[in-house]
Structure 1
Amino acid sequence: MRSRRVLFAVHDWGLGHATRCLVLIRALVERGDEVTVLMAPSPGLQLLKAELGQQCTFYPYPDIPKPLGRSPPMFYAAMTGALPLIWARFKREHRLTERLVRKHRFERVITDSRLGVWSRTAPSYCIFHSLRQIVPGRSPAIERLVERGQRRLLKPYRKVLIPDFAENGGLSGDLGHDPQLDWGAGRLVYIGPLSGVRRQNVPEDIDYFFSLSGLEPQRSLLEQRVQAALPRLSGRIVVARGRLDAAGDQEQKGNATIYGYLDRHAQAEMLNRARLVFTRSGYTTLMELAELGKRALLVPTPGQSEQEYLAQFHHERGHAWSTTQRRLDIVRDLARAQGTTGIPQHATADSVQRFLDAIS
């Protein structure tokens, strides 16, 4: 197959989108494509630059605003207030994409959740796992209305590439399965979960790995709870605080080793070595746990309804234990997580091949 010029846009909400896109961008580069990565200046962009170096061209461009809140009502109020800015950003992204396609003659446009990045002339594909949004109270009428909006936003794309299994609700449950509306024959393609973490031949010698993440102030609030619980936990413990500004920091507190920040490779090693993982329930994290088949205690970021739904979905199926940040009792809930089956396992290599086939 001849090489193509590809514009690949990545959403910058946390590192998850960058890590799951990294395996796809690498696959494109390895088959000879010329890839330009569009992403906001962010830790995610720094990660991609560090991993890909001169193999790609990078185009920094701001992403949509990210409303914050200390509680779910504050988060939803902030998100609603930001909608006009978000719509304006989508329009600017689209105009930019068309200029870039004309100037650089891109032959494929691929975007992970940046919904303004599409072209009328170059075949465009969107990586997206949320055909519908989970709204508070699960009102069928409101969720159908939201799905209609999602379908409209994704209409310009030739295919929607869903990083999940097609069967049995996959990893995403109602988010990515059984849509209420007609999305068009062949447009929804389940390529399978994508994880930047690979299985390693290392012993499981860490009892608990605490991986702290999320937008502030919620990351700091969760860290306070973890730090307070450490003296009451036995076994070998590793904590990654998720503070990029504290990279290189390390301290020992009893039987716990605490790192300010772990890079991608160190994080992958700790996930492999852990018997049980304490983490947020972001979708990228779930795909990493699926790659490794790990048991987990999931604590969704307050106000992020997707994380809240995913945590409950896997809790109900016995794959993981979950609780809210407000009700979290770390000692009690870690013990309960020991009795779960682990996230169903899947190999990312199969998903990458389905991705390449889908955009050919």
Structure 2
Amino acid sequence: MNPNVSTAKKILITPLDWGLGHATRCVPVIKEFLKQGCEVQIASSGDALILLCEEFPHLKTHSIVSYDARYSSHLPLFIKMMIQLPKFLRAIKNEHRQIEEIVEKEKIDVIVSDNRYGCYSSRTKNIFLGHQLFIDSPFLPGFVNQLHLKAIQKFSLCWVPDNDQFSLTGKLTLNSSIRKRAVGYLSRFVWYESEIKYDLLVIISGPESQRTLFEELIIKQLKDYKGKYFIVRGLPAAESSDKQMNHSANHLPSEKLNELVLQSNLILSRPGYSTLMDLATLGKKA
């Protein structure tokens, strides 16, 4: 990708803390800005902030409000999201106030917001990073997309993490009302020749309680599995995250996870869009 904001000196990256995918796809964005000689700061919350602090321990970070998205073990996703909507709106309002304070104090030139709707300022160039410009809602799709469009139009430009020739987003980015630019797949991984060591790699992530339910289901089924496997639990905040025990690890740094994916014959995951970009980048079966 080429951010094409080389005249800017201070960049603020603000990924959503909804699973880990928003943070992981910001890794190549941050690296590119650093390569261009920009000063990069990070503002986020929860596991997303923990992950990026581990990846870039030398960068200045800011803790801002969390959306605290929760999935239900029994309610349909749309209903659970509607129940949490007032909480999300409060978070957006509070994060906007926090961002304005950071911009004023740090003299930020550009904000790149990965799906954080309140991370913009009248004093900066504002870029929204997102792969879902059209929400395929089962209920009130017109109303939902009108609100979504209004939120994104507060930004100067939308970066779509997709490849025009081999698109993964499909109709999710078919919105002509938004000024957008495809920036290619955003993956922190790189492909290189590697020997296969595992038959199966399980990558677990996402908001609770679905993350835990998925992990419990996988562990139960793996009791009868005869092949060699490894599980990455997607828990950056858990203790001993750098240790691998009993065919599993709570969390792994990018380089180690990159190696593990390449060493695995098959990937098992309930992927978000960022995982799809990783798999496409590495050409792995899943």
> When the two structures are superposed, what TM-score results if normalisation uses the length of structure 2?
0.88
Paired residue type of 1:48: L
Paired residue type of 1:279: S
SS at match of 2:113: strand
1:125 Cα deviation (Å)? 0.6
Distance 1:183 1:99, change over 3 A: same
Which residues of structure 2 form unaligned runs of 5+?
A: 1-5
Structure 1 residue 29 and structure 2 residue 34: aligned? yes
1:162 Cα deviation (Å)? 0.5
Distance 1:147 1:258, change over 3 A: same
User: For each residue in 1:123-180, what CA deviation from the matched residue of structure 2 results, as whole angstroms up to 9, or x when unmatched?
Assistant: 11110110111223xx6xx333322221100111111100012356x1122222x23x
Paired residue type of 2:270: R
SS at match of 1:295: coil
User: For each residue in 1:22-75, what CA deviation from the matched residue of structure 2 results, as whole angstroms up to 9, or x when unmatched?
Assistant: 1111211221111221111x2221221222222x211111122313310242x4
Return the structure number with greater relative CO, CA threshold 8 A, min gap 6. 2
Q: Is the 8 A contact 1:3 1:32 kept in 2?
A: no
Pick aligned residue for 2:213 from 214, 218, 221: 221
1:193 Cα deviation (Å)? 1.1
Structure 1 residue 173 and structure 2 residue 173: aligned? no
Q: Which residue of 2 aligns with 1:45?
A: 49
CA distance in 1, matches of 2:165, 2:144: 23
Paired residue type of 2:257: Q
What pairs with 1:162-241 in structure 2 (closer than 5 Å)?
162-167=160-165, 170-176=167-173, 178-179=174-175, 182-184=176-178, 187-241=179-233
User: For each residue in 1:75-109, what CA deviation from the matched residue of structure 2 results, as whole angstroms up to 9, or x when unmatched?
Assistant: 43332122122222222222332333233322112
1:260 Cα deviation (Å)? 4.2
Moved more, 151-160 or 62-71: 62-71
What pairs with 1:1-360 in structure 2 (closer than 5 Å)?
2=7, 4-40=9-45, 42-54=46-58, 56-73=59-76, 75-136=77-138, 142-167=140-165, 170-176=167-173, 178-179=174-175, 182-184=176-178, 187-244=179-236, 245=238, 247=241, 248=243, 250-251=245-246, 257-296=247-286
CA distance in 2, matches of 1:13, 1:89: 13
Q: Is the 8 A contact 1:132 1:146 kept in 2?
A: no
Paired residue type of 1:51: E
Which residues of structure 1 form unaligned runs of 5+?
A: 252-256, 297-360
CA distance in 2, matches of 1:53, 1:262: 15
Structure having the higher Rg: 1
Aligned length: 278
CA distance in 2, matches of 1:116, 1:86: 10
More helix by share: 1
Paired residue type of 1:34: E
CA distance in 2, matches of 1:101, 1:27: 21
Paired residue type of 1:154: I
Q: Is the 8 A contact 1:108 1:122 kept in 2?
A: yes
Task: Kindly report the root-mean-square deviation, in angstroms, between the aligned alpha carbons of the 2 structures.
Answer: 2.1
> When the two structures are superposed, what TM-score results if normalisation uses the length of structure 1?
0.71
1:194 Cα deviation (Å)? 0.4
User: For each residue in 1:245-302, what CA deviation from the matched residue of structure 2 results, as whole angstroms up to 9, or x when unmatched?
Assistant: 2532512xxxxx3344433332211111111100012011001001111111xxxxxx
Distance 1:172 1:201, change over 3 A: same
Q: Is the 8 A contact 1:108 1:124 kept in 2?
A: yes
Q: Is the 8 A contact 2:267 2:285 kept in 1?
A: yes
SS at match of 2:73: coil
Distance 1:102 1:241, change over 3 A: closer
CA distance in 2, matches of 1:259, 1:99: 37
Q: Is the 8 A contact 1:124 1:158 kept in 2?
A: yes
